[in-house]
């Protein structure tokens, strides 16, 4: 049997190599595979889905399982969808096993009943579609989150260096002349400083958000409460027992019956059995 190889970028599936035929995945905004493209960028397959994952239509001959939310690793068969931690049934819109985050999360409910807004690539906790959500450990999620700030870090450094050079040049130009060249230089320096401050804010606020998410992840989960034992069903007095009870009232016994009535109300242990 030929092996199918899937290529992922930044945690999302982007292409497959099936029997030496390479097809590119084209996702919709939520991450479901909307189409497959061949080497000429022509569509070989297209899909449409109902909100909770049922396939509404499919044109083409692809047998790929990465269809509904396939970019995030959801693997669909003809009946069930596997999402890393557990199986999901699109026909009932429910997971088939209890969420490991229960009771913090609903036991079987999918994506907080918001399937066109939230996804759950880990199978444990719905989210708005972060590429790090499919990772298991808190440390991996934190590192993935920080890795996404690399670009902001680079922009911060580049803009900071540019701002420093621009300010130094402006000082020299403006000391020599307060004309047009000085004003242009100050404008460019202002742009560089603005770029630096924006990137600095994004980097440090993003870093704080990653660390806050890490500590929330590490916070001990609530311990599920044990299911209380089912209360015993109340004993009800029947007509025969009631008749016996009325006779006993003429000569009260040494026991007490709590709250009996002729309409069959709940009572304590029935001494007439």
Confidence of residue 33 (pLDDT cuts 50, 70, 90): very high
Q: Is residue 106 part of a domain?
A: yes
pLDDT digits (tens, 9 = 90+) for 172-187: 888 887 788 888 888 8
> What does the pLDDT read at residue 249?
52
Whether 212 and 241 map to the same domain: the answer is: no
pLDDT of residue 261: 40
Range of the domain at 17: 4-113
Give pLDDT tens digits for 242-257.
555 555 555 544 444 4
101 and 56 fall within a common domain: yes
Among the candidates 67, 88, 113, a domain finishes at: 113
Q: How far apart are CA 151 and CA 123, in angstroms?
A: 29
184 in a domain, yes or no?
Answer: yes
Query: Which residue among 63, 93, 113 closes a domain?
Result: 113
Same domain, 203 and 105: no
Q: Is residue 134 part of a domain?
A: no
Judgement on whether residues 91 and 171 belong to the same structural domain of the protein: no
Contact between residue 94 and residue 80 where contact means Cβ atoms under 8 Å apart? no
Residue 95 shares a structural domain with residue 10:
yes
Which of 57, 59, 58, 115 minimizes the C-alpha distance to 83? 115
Predicted local distance difference test score (pLDDT) of residue 225: 54
Count of domains in the chain?
A: 3
> Are 25 and 92 in a shared domain?
yes
Confidence of residue 49 (pLDDT cuts 50, 70, 90): very high
* Statement to judge: residues 77 and 169 lie in one domain: no
User: Which of 148, 55, 145 has its CA nearest to residue 66?
Assistant: 55
Q: What is the DSSP string of the chain?
A: -PPEEEEEETTEEEEEEETTEEEEEEE-TTS-EEEEE-TTS-EEEEEEE-TTS-EEEEES----S--TTGGGT-EE-SS-EEETTEEEETTTTEESS--TTTTTS-SSBSGGG-TTT-B-TTSSS-BS--TTTT--SHHHHHHHHHHTTHHHHHHHHHHHHHHHHHHHHHHHHHHH--SHHHHHHHHHHHHHHHHHHHHHHHHHHHHHHHHHHHHHHHSPPPPPPPPPPPPPPPEE--HHHHHHHHHHHTS--SS--SS--TT--EESS-TT-
pLDDT digits over 116-150, tens only? Answer: 888 888 887 776 555 565 566 788 878 877 887 78
d(CA 24, CA 28): 13
Structure token pair of residue 137: 């450990």
Long-range (24+ apart) CB contacts under 8 A made by 227-235 are 234/266, 234/267, 235/266, 235/267, 235/268, 235/269, 235/270
Q: What is the dihedral of CA 255, 256, 260, 266, to 10 degrees?
A: -90
Residue 84 lies in a domain: yes
Which pLDDT belongs to residue 34? 94
Asked if residue 273 belongs to a domain, the reply is: no
């Amino acid at each position: 049997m030929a092996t199918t190889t899937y290529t992922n970028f930044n945690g999302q599936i982007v292409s497959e190599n099936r029997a030496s035929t390479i097809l590119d995945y084209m996702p919709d905004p939520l991450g479901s595979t909307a189409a497959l493209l061949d080497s000429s960028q022509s569509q070989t397959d297209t899909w449409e889905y109902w909100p909770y994952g049922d396939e509404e239509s499919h044109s083409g001959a692809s047998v790929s399982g990465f269809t509904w939310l396939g970019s995030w690793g959801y693997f669909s068969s003809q009946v069930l969808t596997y999402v890393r931690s557990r199986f999901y049934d699109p026909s009932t819109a429910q997971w088939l096993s209890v969420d490991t985050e229960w009771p913090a999360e609903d036991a079987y409910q999918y994506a907080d009943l918001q399937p066109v807004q939230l996804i759950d690539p880990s199978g444990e906790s719905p989210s708005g579609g972060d590429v790090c959500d499919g990772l298991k450990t808190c440390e991996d999620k934190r590192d993935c989150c920080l890795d996404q700030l690399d670009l902001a870090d680079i922009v911060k450094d580049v803009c900071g260096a540019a701002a420093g050079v621009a300010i130094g040049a402006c000082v020299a130009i403006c000391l020599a002349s307060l004309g047009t060249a000085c004003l242009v230089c100050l404008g460019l320096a202002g742009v560089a400083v603005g770029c630096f401050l924006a990137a600095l804010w994004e980097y440090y606020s993003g870093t704080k958000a990653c660390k806050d998410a890490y500590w929330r992840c590490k916070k001990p989960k609530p311990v599920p409460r044990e299911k209380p034992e089912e209360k015993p069903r109340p004993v009800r007095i029947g007509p025969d027992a009631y008749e016996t009870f009325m006779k006993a009232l003429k000569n009260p016994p040494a026991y007490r019956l709590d709250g009996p009535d002729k309409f069959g109300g709940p009572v304590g242990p029935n001494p007439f059995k």
